[in-house]
Each structure stands twice: as structure tokens, then as C-alpha cells.
């Protein structure tokens, strides 16, 4: 059922069970199917079901009661979803007023790796690697490269605020073009550590490039989001 996925089986089962609680298939007050039923459904050993149940009990979602069964005690919190916008204006609007907790992990003069289609490199860049968190849970780690001439227009604000709304609001900056790509991937050791995920957990990698009218790359953001924070919506024209 689960295939050769390098994530502990009980973690995968706990995720499936959590999903059922989130979707309302199991509501607070419901009694879970028996261990035997879950063993048969998931084709796993008793100890694996117990480990998954214990994990969700530690999260406050389940309450095993001797002789009575395992009760659903809470609804899994619905995380704030991040829409993958398809225009620069809507992307900036989504981030405007957003105030996640920002932790600047690294600041350096490292230079980005740019492809020909990205644009023309600026003379120098200011690099910031930061983690975005909400309610104590990290959901994004991003490497930001800003043309040093742009960064020096408002260094304190760039260190403390979400970059895109600030960048596009600067009166001396004109954005000539913007591109965004999204790739589904898995968490490596560094990302797993930063986002508090299992290694190889699903993540979304988003690369954003903003250029000036002369095609100079003013901003490059390589962001990795937890998979459960991303939602892609598209209008399908008839």
C-alpha cells in the first residue's frame, strides 16, 4: 500500500489518520475503528498502528482509553494555505500585510547561480537565508538574493519584512519582468532540519526572479515550502 518510501510506516499512517480527522471523516467524540481493523486496512503490524496512534495522541488529536477504544478528541488544525499566484500583482497582494515570524539564519555576499533565461547578473548581491514561521511552526525556508544597490535602499526593512511587497513599493525601483516556477520535491537534510520535517517529506520548491527594465536580476528567491502549505489554483477557460 505504501511502497518504498523512506519515511517510517507509522508516520505515514499517522498522516493518513490525521487527514481523515482534518476532512471530518472522523469527528471529535468518534471512536476509531479497532486496532485489528486498522491493521487489516493498512496491512501493517499491531505495533505500527499503536505507534501512529501514540503520535496523534501526543498531538492531542486522539485519546486511547483502556477498555473503551481510541477517541477523537480534537480537530486537526487547518494550516494557512499559501496560494501559488500567477501574476506579480496578485502575488504581492497576497504577501502585503503578512507578518510571519522571520529568522535570518545567514547573511552573506554569496552570489546567485543564474541561468541565461533568468536575466543579467547585477555587480553584487546581498544574500539572506531565512526561515518563515507561524504559530511556532516553520513552513518556509528561503534564500534571497537582492541586488546590493536595491538592498542598500532600505537594509533594515529588508532584514525585518517580507521582501516582495517592500521591493515593489520602493519608488526608485521599476520591475520590468517577473517569473515564477514551482517544482514538487522532497526535503533534504538541511530543509528537513529547518522545517522540522522527516527527511524526504514532500515539499514545494518555488523560484522567483524579478528583473529591471534592462533585464538585470534585482531579486532572486529560492523558497522551499512544506507540502501542506501550498495550494495551486488555476482558472480553466472553457
CATH number at residue 61: 1.10.10.10
In the predicted model, is pLDDT for residue 39 greater than 80? yes
Say whether both 159 and 123 belong to one domain: yes
pLDDT category at 104 given cuts 50, 70, 90 is confident
The pLDDT assigned to 159 comes to: 94
Residue from 160, 166, 93 nearest 128 by CA: 160
Last-in-domain residue among 72, 92, 118: 72
Last-in-domain residue among 72, 98, 123: 72
Neighbours of 164 (CB within 10 A): 21
Say whether both 115 and 227 belong to one domain: yes
pLDDT category at 234 given cuts 50, 70, 90 is low
CATH number at residue 90: 3.40.1410.10
Average of per-residue pLDDT across 114-137: 93
Neighbours of 90 (CB within 10 A): 10
| Structural domains counted in the chain | 2
Mean model confidence pLDDT for the chain: 87
Is 3 contained in some domain? no
Residue from 131, 145, 140, 124 nearest 209 by CA: 145
List of residues 6+ apart from 14 with CB closer than 8 A = 51, 52, 53, 55, 56
Low-confidence winner among 27-31, 86-90, 161-165, 169-173 (lowest mean pLDDT): 86-90
Say whether both 55 and 172 belong to one domain: no
Question: Collapsing DSSP states into helix, strand and coil, what is residue 148?
Answer: helix
In the predicted model, is pLDDT for residue 127 greater than 70? yes
pLDDT category at 198 given cuts 50, 70, 90 is confident
Say whether both 67 and 87 belong to one domain: no
Q: CA–CA distance from 16 to each of 48, 56, 116, 139, 222 (Å)?
A: 13, 11, 43, 20, 30
Q: CA–CA distance from 164 to each of 46, 92, 127, 209, 210 (Å)?
A: 49, 6, 15, 11, 9
Is 179 contained in some domain? yes
pLDDT category at 17 given cuts 50, 70, 90 is confident
Average of per-residue pLDDT across 114-140: 93
Is 77 contained in some domain? no
In the predicted model, is pLDDT for residue 3 greater than 70? no
Say whether both 138 and 53 belong to one domain: no
DSSP string, 92-137: HHHHTT---EEEEEEEE-PPP---TTT-BPPS-EEEEEEEEEETTE
The pLDDT assigned to 177 comes to: 94
Q: Which residues span the domain enclosing 20?
A: 9-72
Say whether both 148 and 109 belong to one domain: yes
The pLDDT assigned to 84 comes to: 61
Q: CA–CA separation, 45 vs 39, rounded Å?
A: 6
Say whether both 97 and 182 belong to one domain: yes
pLDDT category at 76 given cuts 50, 70, 90 is low
Amino acid at each position: 500500500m505504501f511502497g518504498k518510501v523512506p519515511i517510517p510506516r507509522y508516520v505515514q499512517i499517522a498522516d493518513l489518520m490525521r487527514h481523515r480527522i482534518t476532512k471530518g471523516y472522523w469527528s471529535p467524540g468518534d471512536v476509531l475503528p479497532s486496532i485489528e481493523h486498522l491493521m487489516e486496512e493498512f496491512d501493517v503490524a499491531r505495533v505500527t498502528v499503536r505507534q501512529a496512534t501514540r503520535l496523534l495522541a501526543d498531538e492531542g488529536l486522539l485519546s486511547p482509553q483502556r477498555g473503551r477504544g481510541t477517541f477523537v478528541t480534537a480537530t486537526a488544525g487547518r494550516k494557512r494555505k499559501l496560494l501559488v499566484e500567477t501574476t506579480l500583482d496578485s502575488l504581492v497582494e497576497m504577501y502585503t500585510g503578512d507578518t510571519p515570524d522571520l529568522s535570518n539564519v545567514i547573511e552573506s555576499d554569496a552570489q546567485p547561480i543564474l541561468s541565461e533565461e533568468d536575466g543579467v547578473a547585477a555587480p553584487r548581491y546581498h544574500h539572506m537565508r531565512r526561515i518563515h514561521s507561524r504559530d511556532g511552526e516553520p513552513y518556509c525556508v528561503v534564500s534571497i538574493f537582492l541586488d546590493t544597490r536595491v538592498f542598500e535602499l532600505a537594509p533594515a526593512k529588508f532584514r525585518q519584512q517580507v521582501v516582495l511587497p517592500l521591493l515593489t513599493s520602493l519608488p526608485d525601483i521599476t520591475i520590468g519582468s517577473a517569473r515564477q516556477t514551482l517544482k514538487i520535491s522532497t526535503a533534504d537534510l538541511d530543509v528537513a532540519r529547518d522545517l522540522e520535517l522527516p527527511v524526504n517529506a514532500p515539499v514545494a520548491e518555488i523560484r522567483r526572479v524579478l528583473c529591471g527594465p534592462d533585464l538585470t536580476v534585482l531579486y532572486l528567491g529560492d523558497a522551499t515550502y512544506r507540502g501542506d502549505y501550498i495550494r495551486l489554483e488555476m482558472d480553466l477557460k472553457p
